[in-house]
Amino acid sequence: MDYIVFDLEWNQSPDGKKYSNSRLPFEIIEIGAVKLNEDLEITDSFHRLIRPQVYNWIHESIHEVIHVDYKDLEKGIPFPAAAQEFLDWCGRESIFFTWGNQDLTELQRNLKFYDQLYLLRGPVRYYDVQKLYALFFDPEHLRRALEHAISGLDIPRTADFHRALADACYTARVLKKMNPEEFLPYFSVDVYQNPRTKREEIRLSCPDYDKFISREFADRDRVMKDREVSSTRCPVCHLPAKRKIRWFMNNSRIYYSVSFCRQHGYVEGKVRIRRTEEDRYFAVKTLRIIGAEEAEEIRSRQDSLRKKRRMKKSLKKEI
C-alpha cells in the first residue's frame, strides 16, 4: 500500500468574488505529489501545471504567494487530463495525506465541475498532517502553517514554499518525523461527498474521540431532532452517557452538550451542521472525554447565552 502526499495550488476570480463562478470558486492550477512506502520513504513523484479554463488571469494575491506566471500555465494541460493522470498514478489502494483539510475538498469540487467525480468516490478517508503535527508536536495543539512545522522540526529548507511539489515534499518530511503506529488511528474523513442515506452514515472511533457523520435532511431543524445525532455515548467504553447539559447552540451556530460516564467522566458533545451544495443538511458530531473544569466552562457559556437572550427579549418588550 502506498501513501500519497499531495498539494494543490489554485486560482480564483481576478476580478473579485462578485465575478466568481459559484460552481468553481477555486480553479486548480498545479498538482504536486510524492509517493511513500510504509517506511515513509519517497519512492516516486508527480507534478503537473494546469491550463486554466475558467479564470483568464491570476488573482493578484495568488500571484504574490505562489509566483506562477500565467504564461507558464498556458503551457500546462487541461484539468481533466491532469486529474486522470494523477489518480491513475496514485493507484486504487493508496492513502491520501495533505497539509490541512481543504485540498481534498477542492480536488473533488474541480472533478465535479468537469463531470469526473466518479474518479474519486467519497466520503474520502485521508490523513491531515497539519492536524497530526498539532497533536504530536505543538504544545497548544494549534493548527500551524507548514513553514512553522518545518522550522519547529529543524527540517532544511531546500525549495520555496507555496509550490505544489515542494509543499508535498515538505509535508512528507514532517510525516517522516512521526511514528505510523501513533498517527494511523487518527484518520480524517472529507465529507464533500457526504452520506445521503442512513445506510451510508459514518461512525469513526479514534483513541480519544468518536465521530458520527449523519445522512442528509431536508431542513436544518430536523437534524438535531434525529435520535442518533442527539445521542451521547462515552468515546472510550461506547456506553450511553447521562446528559448533564442539554444540547444548546452557541454564537457560531455549533451545538454543545455535556454528558457523564460513570467510568470515564465527562463527555463533551459537539455538533456542526453542514449545508450541501443542493441546500440539504447533515451533521458532524464529535464526542470526547473532558475534565470537570472544561465541563464547568461549557455550563458557564450556556448560562451566559441564556442571560443575553433574556436581555434581548426584555428589550424588545420595552420597545
- CA-CA-CA-CA torsion for 215, 218, 224, 228, nearest 10 degrees? -30
Minimal CA–CA distance to 186: which of 171, 197, 175? 175
pTM metric for this prediction: 0.87
Q: For the segment 256-291, what is each residue's pLDDT rounded down to a tens digit?
A: 999 999 999 999 999 999 999 899 999 999 999 999
Q: How far is CA 29 from CA 58, 70, 194, 234, 316, in A?
A: 10, 10, 25, 44, 52
Contact 207, 180 (CB under 8 A): no
Residues 6+ apart with CB under 8 A from 175: 3, 5, 36, 40, 97, 129, 132, 183
Q: For the segment 172-221, what is each residue's pLDDT rounded down to a tens digit?
A: 999 999 999 999 999 999 999 999 999 999 999 988 899 999 999 999 99
Contact 96, 124 (CB under 8 A): yes
Q: For the segment 27-83, what is each residue's pLDDT rounded down to a tens digit?
A: 999 999 999 999 999 999 999 999 999 988 777 766 655 667 777 788 899 999 999
State the Cα–Cα distance between residues 297 and 259, nearest whole angstrom: 14
CATH class, domain 3-183, is alpha beta
Task: Please state the φ and ψ torsions of residue 132, each to the nearest 5 degrees.
Answer: -65, -40
State the Cα–Cα distance between residues 317 and 319, nearest whole angstrom: 5
The pairing of beta strand 27-36 with beta strand 42-49 = antiparallel
When pLDDT is cut at 50, 70 and 90, the band that residue 234 belongs to is very high
Q: Where are the domains of the chain?
A: 3-183, 194-311
Residues 6+ apart with CB under 8 A from 36: 2, 3, 4, 5, 42, 43, 172, 175
Q: For the segment 120-172, what is each residue's pLDDT rounded down to a tens digit?
A: 999 999 999 999 999 999 999 999 999 999 999 999 999 888 899 999 999 99
